[in-house]
Copies of this chain bind each other. A is one copy, B any other.
Amino acid sequence: MSPDEARRRPPTAQQFVLGELRRAITTGRLRPGAPIRQDALAEELQVSRVPLREALKTLQGEGLVTYEAHRGYFVETLSLDDLREVYRIRELLEEEAVRRAVPRLTDDDLARLEAAQDDVERAAAAGDVAAMAAANRAFHMMLFDCSGMPRLVRLIRTLWDSTDAYRSMYYGEPGNRERVIKEHRATLDALRRRSADDAVATLDVHRAHAVTALAPLLDT
């Protein structure tokens, strides 16, 4: 493990706060719908409100929080419909990314994808949910990056961010962890065969499973 992985505090306070806020929201420490009290949060994070507000603006752009002038920021609530909408949009965008990526895949890319998959499996074996979520994300983003469409990838990444909280729940179930591994292997196989259709199909299944697994958790 490289020494850089000992979590270095980012070079600016806003980036540090951004990371902390993301975690707080996606782990549910900041409840959906709750107002974000800047003074309290700033004190808790040991920064002033200025970098905090800049981080909040970023999150607003990503749809994790909402903003009303003179009333402040609120944690976005994700309804089941919202989740379905996000996954539908992901389906559209990720299909495009994969179709563009497949013909451009080098052997080197494939090797890196396989290494990424190894990371996922290791994390799963260790039962480390957070590590598995991170590795899973890395695997997918690596594939999307091969599309050569940076803006598309950025959009997809933002959509992933907005549902991170729920993805962690998903990986909490050992059965789901098993399934994810199998699905990734199917995707890798399709990629090796350079079959965009198959790769898209396996990813669609992958996503659909996640939605059906998460739906019951969102009926509250």
Contacts and interface: CB of A to CB of B under 8 A. Distances in A.
B151 A86 contact: yes
Interface in A74-95: 82, 85-86, 88-89, 92-93
A160 to B, nearest CB: 13
B12 A85 contact: no
A29 B57 CA distance: 25
A69 interface: yes
A145 B137 CA distance: 31
A183 to B, nearest CB: 23
A37 interface: no
Contacts of A85: 149-152
B11 A89 contact: no
Nearest to A88: B96
Copies of this chain, count: 2
A96 B86 contact: no
A61 B86 CA distance: 18
Contact of A155 (B11, B15, B89, B150): B89
Nearest to A15: B69
A70 interface: yes
Nearest to A63: B151
Interface in A36-65: 50, 53-54, 57-58, 60-63
A82 B15 CA distance: 27
Nearest to A59: B61
Smallest CB-CB A-B distances: 8 pairs: A61-B61, A57-B57, A92-B92, A12-B69, A85-B151, A11-B69, A54-B57, A85-B149
Interface of A: 11-12, 15, 50, 53-54, 57-58, 60-63, 69-70, 82, 85-86, 88-89, 92-93, 96, 149-152, 154-155
5 contacts: A58-B60, A63-B151, A82-B151, A85-B150, A92-B92
